[in-house]
């Protein structure tokens, strides 16, 4: 006969908690042992290599290589930052760094100035786009990477350096003396009115005070114009500080609304970020412009406006970066930028596209497939999805360049002609008024007449593929005559292509030339002149019925 043993729930729960604690402690001990064991293996190997390897090695470089290889197995945003690159950390967090203020790029054996920033040391010293950097402080710059050159150009404000350059219209190299300054790149290279009623703000980063700058720009537009709609352009904006994304959103969204939340492995990384200030305007129609290079903080802004049905999003699907990084100090003035959480926008979705915790058989990280995406709802009940960046409310095709225009661009002929034009032409009309005349275009065609800018059209590529497969299957001899005849007919005429696509090439020339005289602000103004995406945005903002229907989930045809 069995006895009924009374169930003691309190004792059971205590036993369960005890077993759970034992499990956690055991797991922690195992983890600690694994960490200690592998650190000992790593340091022992490092010492033995340093002591015994046949050739001399650089211990610091060897360690950095090991660290980089370790971090490569994680996401690309978790990186080691040595003391020599500490100015990059300043730029990430504050938008400032010590240096000369210029963009650079590799060109053959040397690095060239691609754009001096207006008002900063490179500009003040007379450096120009196209200048080839031969020496820095009398040390050769030949065969140096842009990163290596950048590390030398950056440094503490107030320190001096000398740059020797080669300029195409000068017979002898020029030596320029510069004093480094704190370089602060404007978050907003341009804002203004596109017509009588539509304002425009170009936002290129989310470093410190981005929210304040957008607020001031919007107030200026609102107070001095008959403003009926605003375009915020974050195309190409790779992000920045999460806090600044919240502050930008707060300008147009009611106080107390959740903009973004973060969830990490540690409890202190789980946070909610709400609008805490009184907004400036919660009624004015807003369009957010995005593209594939709009990432991180740009996606928080676009995503929160979409989830709260506060703006119409126009452009291409965004990058899909739903991860948050913190910069943490480590030994000897080095730092590490570490992914500490994922972020979630108001509907509850995370827009991270790539799963960095898993790789396929080729060693590539997985992209989240459509079948695993989850539907969420905006405030008005519109359906949106996670895992794929922000899909715009109005999805536009990405602007495509013709083969001839792409070839002229990648072979630097557009860039080099602008450099030549600038050396021969002291001034041009204002950015909004400058055009490429037929005379300028003819001069450009003469300039490239002896330059190499050949390319393979899609049709020619398909024909080459046909030849390859026909040879593989032993059919080519039978079709060789027809193949040669078709190839001759399809042979592209570069001169004809230049004339055929002259409007596109003229636009590229106009923007590049304007950059020589009016720098980044001029480029933005010039690019707005013929921008079909901006035209779509203006159309939506001026059609209040269509704007309202989109936010309600009804897209009027």
Enzyme catalytic residues? 296, 307, 321
Residue 210 has φ and ψ, to the nearest 5°, of -60, -45
List all residues 6 or more positions away from 401 whose beta carbon is below 8 Å from its beta carbon.
Answer: 409, 504
What is the C-alpha to C-alpha distance for residues 490 and 492, in angstroms, rounded to an integer? 6
Exposure string of 219-240, with b = 16+ CB inside 10 Å and e = fewer, is: eebeeeeebebbbbbbbebbbb
Phi, psi of 424 (to 5 degrees): -100, -15
The number of C-alpha atoms within 13 Å of 131 and in the hemisphere containing its C-beta is 25
Which residue from 511, 532, 503, 551 is spatially nearest to 316, judged by alpha carbons? 532
Q: Give dist(CA 251, CA 247) in Å, integer.
A: 7
Structure-token pair, residue 321 = 């970066």
Q: Which helix (H) or strand (E) holds 401?
A: none
Closest to 288 measured CA to CA, from 61, 551, 555: 551
User: Which tokens in the block code for residue 102?
Assistant: 């210029």
Q: What is the DSSP string of 152-174?
A: HH---TT-EEEEEEE-TT-SS-E
Token output for 294 = 């709009």
Q: Among candidates 259, 260, 267, 315, which has minimal Cα distance to 287? A: 315
CA distance 86 to 335: 8
Coil, strand or helix: which one is 259?
strand
Give the SS3 label for residue 4: coil
How far is the CA of 138 from the CAs of 122, 164, 176, 361, in angstroms? 17, 8, 11, 49
How far apart are the C-alpha atoms of 195 and 230, rounded to whole Å? 11
Q: How far apart are CA 108 and CA 144, in angstroms?
A: 10
Instruction: Classify residue 553 as exposed, middle or buried by CB count within 10 Å of its CB (0-12, 13-18, 19+).
Output: middle
């Amino acid at each position: 006969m069995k006895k009924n043993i009374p169930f003691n729930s309190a004792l059971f729960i205590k036993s369960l908690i005890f077993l759970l604690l034992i499990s956690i402690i055991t797991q922690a001990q195992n983890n600690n042992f694994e960490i200690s064991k592998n650190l000992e293996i790593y340091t022992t190997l490092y010492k033995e290599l340093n002591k015994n390897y046949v050739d001399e090695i650089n211990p610091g470089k060897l360690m950095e290589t090991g660290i980089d290889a370790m971090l490569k197995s994680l996401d690309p945003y978790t990186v080691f930052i040595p003391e020599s690159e500490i100015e990059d950390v300043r730029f990430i967090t504050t938008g400032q760094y010590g240096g000369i203020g210029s963009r650079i790029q590799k060109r053959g054996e040397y690095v060239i100035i691609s754009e001096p920033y207006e008002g900063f040391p490179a500009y003040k010293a007379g450096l120009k786009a196209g200048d080839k950097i031969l020496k820095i402080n009398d040390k050769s710059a030949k065969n140096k990477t842009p990163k290596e050159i950048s590390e030398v150009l950056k440094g503490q404000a107030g320190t001096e350096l000398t740059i020797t350059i080669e300029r195409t219209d000068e017979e002898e190299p020029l030596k320029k003396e510069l004093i480094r300054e704190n370089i602060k790149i404007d978050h907003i290279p341009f804002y203004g009115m596109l017509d009588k009623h539509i304002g425009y703000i170009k936002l290129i980063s989310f470093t410190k005070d981005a929210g304040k700058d957008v607020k001031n720009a919007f107030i200026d537009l609102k107070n001095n114009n008959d403003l009926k709609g605003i375009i915020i352009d974050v195309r190409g904006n790779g992000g920045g500080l999460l806090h600044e994304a919240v502050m930008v959103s707060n300008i147009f969204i009611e106080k107390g609304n959740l903009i973004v939340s973060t969830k990490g492995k540690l409890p202190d990384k789980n946070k909610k970020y709400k609008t805490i200030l009184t907004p400036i305007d919660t009624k004015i129609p807003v369009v957010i412009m995005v593209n594939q290079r709009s990432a991180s903080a740009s996606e928080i802004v676009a995503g929160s406006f979409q989830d709260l049905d506060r703006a119409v999003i126009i452009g291409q699907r965004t990058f899909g970066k739903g991860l948050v990084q913190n910069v943490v100090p480590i030994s000897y003035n080095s730092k590490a930028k570490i992914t500490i959480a994922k972020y979630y926008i108001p509907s509850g979705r995370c827009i991270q596209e790539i799963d960095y915790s898993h790789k396929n058989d080729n060693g590539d990280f997985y992209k989240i497939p459509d079948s695993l995406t989850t539907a969420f709802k905006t405030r008005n009940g519109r359906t949106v999805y996670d895992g794929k960046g922000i899909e715009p409310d109005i999805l536009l095709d990405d602007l495509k360049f013709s083969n001839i225009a792409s070839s002229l661009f990648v072979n630097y002929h557009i860039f080099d002609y602008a450099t030549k034009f600038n050396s021969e032409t002291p001034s041009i009309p204002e950015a909004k008024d400058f055009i490429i005349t037929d005379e300028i275009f003819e001069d450009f065609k003469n300039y490239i007449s002896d330059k190499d800018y050949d390319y393979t059209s899609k049709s020619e590529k398909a024909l080459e593929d046909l030849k390859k497969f026909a040879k593989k299957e032993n059919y080519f001899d039978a079709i060789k005559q027809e193949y040669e005849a078709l190839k001759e007919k399809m042979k592209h005429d570069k001169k004809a292509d230049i004339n055929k696509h002259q409007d596109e090439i003229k636009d590229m020339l106009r923007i590049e030339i304007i950059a020589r005289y009016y720098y980044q602000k001029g480029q933005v103004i010039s690019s707005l002149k013929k921008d079909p995406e901006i035209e779509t945005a203006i159309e939506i903002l001026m059609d209040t019925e269509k704007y309202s229907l989109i936010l309600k989930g009804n897209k009027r045809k």
